[in-house]
């Protein structure tokens, strides 16, 4: 395909620029995807402010890492996908060949890259077309609306990885989720779908607390006027909660999480407060000795998580119908990020469509 397309590109700090660029050439094991719907992730706000700086030499590049589309061309060695297939995009490029890929931990691939951030030869999905390795395009069964499919590849799968893989949730365990943004609310729903007994949502926003209940939280805690740790122990009894999913990742929330879990509890940090990538956090770690508390992180998700998430959505065990609260046309993508950044509206996920 020798033609041009419209694409929103990062040029460093500041807003994305809508530009006319060349449609990428399809190589042996790639597919070219016509992008139908794209999710606006919280990290777009971080990219805009250079809080996740794109490495030197990798800009300008097309933004966007959460999207779904239709295969329009496939490389000669691609057999698993056909033209016309609807697909959910996986943004982490992994080699399929290193120790971690072979162990099914391809989110930690030695040679990993992200299409929006630094992957070689691939760029993001805020464009009319996006090139991906075929192994990064997951076929969608019929019946999943594209605007819902768009958000599977980040908010939904990252939450699944945190709850199921890193949290190791077992049936009838209790889960508290601190911070009810896109990942937090979907983590609440995963905890529910995967059989948690008590599910506690913690936030400081009325809409998010109300939505957590709709997504399956059995209890909510408004952290503005409650002692969160005390409240969690009131709900869970002397044992404390089994798992805390902390999507905020501040000194305060990690400290609270470590004091909220019971013996051998698990604290999963799935986000770090702005600045924490540069400035070390100070947290009292004594619970990890006294109570054998597990403190761990969770990054992205694996290919297996992605496939599993699609199966749950397709079989309607996982409901995405309430997740997309705002729909804007592709051309208004910067306005969509403005809305997210301003935070004045009741947002779960904003999706741009074309
Ligand atoms: Zn994201
Ligand atoms: Zn690898």
- pLDDT for position 52: 81
In this structure, which ligand is nearest to the CA of 43? 1
The mean pLDDT value for 132-138 works out to 97
- The tens digit of pLDDT for each residue in 252-294 reads 999 999 999 999 999 999 988 876 776 788 999 999 999 999 9
CATH of region 156-297: 3.40.50.720
The bound ligand whose nearest atom lies closest to the alpha carbon of 64 is 1
- Span from the CA of 52 to the centroid of ligand 1 (angstroms): 12
Q: What is the pLDDT, as a whole number, of residue 57?
A: 87
- Using a CB cutoff of 5 Å, list residues around ligand 2, an ion: 94-95, 98, 101, 109
- Cα–ligand 2 centroid distance for 121 (angstroms): 16
CA distance 46 to 315: 34
Convert the pLDDT of each residue in 81-101 to its tens digit: 999 999 999 999 999 999 999
Band of the pLDDT at 62, cuts 50, 70, 90? very high
What's the gap in Å between 272 CA and the centre of ligand 1? 13
The token duo for 6 is: 């419209």
pLDDT digits (tens, 9 = 90+) for 44-57: 998 999 888 888 88
Q: How far apart are CA 276 and CA 222, in angstroms?
A: 24
Spacing, Cα 95 to ligand 2 middle (Å)? 4
pLDDT (mean) for 150-173: 97
pLDDT confidence of 332, banded at 50, 70, 90? Answer: very high
Q: Strand 241-246's sheet: what is its strand order? A: 219-222, 199-203, 175-178, 241-246, 261-269, 294-297
Phi, psi of 254 (to 5 degrees): -70, -40
Ligand 2 center to residue 54 CA distance, Å?
A: 21
Asked whether this chain's domains 4-150+322-353 and 156-297 adopt the same fold, the reply is no
With beta carbons less than 8 A apart as the criterion, state whether 265 and 242 touch. yes
- CA dihedral angle for residue 298, residue 270, residue 185, residue 294, rounded to 10 degrees: 70
Predicted confidence (pLDDT) per residue in 138-158, tens digit = 999 999 999 999 999 999 999
Q: How many Å from the N-terminal Cα to the C-terminal Cα in the chain?
A: 20
- pLDDT at site 274: 72
Beta pairing, strands 113-114 & 92-93:
antiparallel
275 to each of 24, 63, 151, 201, 298, how far by Cα in Å?
35, 22, 26, 25, 18
Mean pLDDT for the chain overall: 95
Say how far apart CA 346 and CA 204 lie, in whole Å: 13
Tell how far the Cα of 109 is from the centroid of ligand 2, in angstroms.
4
Q: Is the pLDDT of residue 107 over 90?
A: yes
Task: Name the residue ranges covered by the structural domains of the chain.
Answer: 4-150+322-353, 156-297
What is the second-level CATH architecture of the domain 4-150+322-353?
Alpha-Beta Complex (3.90)
Q: Is the pLDDT of residue 2 over 80?
A: no
Task: Choose the weakest-confidence range: 108-122, 124-138, 183-197.
Answer: 108-122
Distance 44 CA to ligand 2 centre (A): 26
Task: Pick the ligand that lies closest to the CA of residue 135.
Answer: 2
Q: Give residue-wise pLDDT tens across range 3-56.
A: 999 999 999 999 999 999 999 999 999 999 999 999 999 999 989 998 888 888
CA of 239 to the centre of ligand 1 (A): 34
Residue 145: closest CA among 39, 303, 40: 39
Tokens 């192994």 correspond to what residue?
A: 135
Which ligand has the minimum distance to the alpha carbon of residue 349? 1
Residues paired with 261 in a beta bridge: 241
pLDDT for 1 equals 56
Confidence of residue 352 (pLDDT cuts 50, 70, 90): very high
Model pTM? Answer: 0.95
Ligand 1 centroid to Cα of residue 233, in Å, is 32
Tokens found for residue 148: 């819902």
- Written in H, E and C, the secondary structure of the chain is CCCEEEEEEECCCCCCEEEEEECCCCCCCEEEEEEEEEEECHHHHHHHCCCCCCCCCCCCEECCCCEEEEEEEECCCCCCCCCCCEEEECCEECCCCCHHHHCCCHHHCCCCEECCCCCCCCCCCCECEEEEEHHHEEECCCCCCHHHHCCHHHHHHHHHHHHHHHCCCCCCCCEEEECCCHHHHHHHHHHHHCCCCCEEEEECCHHHHHHHHHCCCCEEEECCCCCHHHHHHHHHHHHCEEEEEECCCCHHHHHHHHHHEEEEEEEEECCCCCCCCCCCCCCCCHHHHHCCCEEEECCCCCHHHHHHHHHHHHCCCCCCCCCEEEEEEHHHHHHHHHHHHHCCCCCCEEEEEC
Distance in Å, CA 112 to ligand 2 centroid:
6
């Amino acid at each position: 395909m020798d033609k041009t397309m419209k694409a929103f590109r990062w040029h460093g700090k500041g807003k994305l620029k809508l530009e006319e660029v060349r449609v990428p050439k399809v190589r042996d094991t790639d597919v070219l995807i016509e992008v139908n719907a794209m999710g606006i992730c919280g990290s777009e706000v971080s990219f805009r402010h250079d809080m996740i700086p794109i490495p030197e030499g990798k800009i300008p590049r097309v933004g966007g890492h959460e999207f779904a589309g239709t295969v329009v061309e496939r490389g000669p060695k691609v057999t698993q996908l056909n033209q016309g297939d609807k697909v959910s995009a996986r943004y982490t490029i992994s080699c399929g060949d290193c120790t971690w890929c072979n162990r099914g931990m391809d989110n930690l691939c030695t040679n990993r890259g992200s299409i929006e951030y630094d992957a070689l030869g691939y760029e993001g999905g805020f464009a009319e077309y996006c090139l991906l390795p075929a192994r990064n395009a997951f076929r969608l069964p019929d019946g999943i609306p594209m605007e819902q499919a768009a958000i599977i590849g980040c908010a939904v799968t990252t939450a699944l990885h945190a709850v199921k893989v890193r949290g190791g949730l077992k049936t009838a365990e209790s889960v508290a989720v601190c911070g009810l943004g896109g990942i937090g609310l979907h983590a609440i729903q995963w905890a529910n779908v995967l059989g948690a007994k008590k599910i506690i949502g913690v936030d400081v926003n009325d809409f998010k607390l109300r939505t957590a209940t709709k997504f399956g939280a059995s209890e909510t805690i408004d952290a503005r006027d409650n002692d969160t740790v005390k409240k969690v122990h009131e709900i869970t009894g002397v044992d404390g909660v089994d798992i805390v999913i902390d999507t905020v990742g501040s000194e305060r929330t990690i400290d609270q999480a470590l004091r909220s879990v019971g013996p051998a509890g698990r604290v999963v940090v799935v986000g770090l407060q702005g600045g924490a990538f540069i400035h070390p956090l100070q947290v009292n770690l004594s619970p990890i000795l006294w109570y054998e508390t597990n403190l761990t992180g969770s990054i992205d998700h694996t290919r297996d998580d992605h496939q599993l998430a699609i199966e749950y959505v397709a079989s309607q065990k996982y409901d995405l119908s309430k997740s997309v609260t705002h729909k804007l046309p592709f051309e208004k993508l910067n306005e969509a990020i403005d809305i997210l950044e301003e935070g004045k509206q009741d947002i779960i996920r904003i999706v741009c469509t074309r």
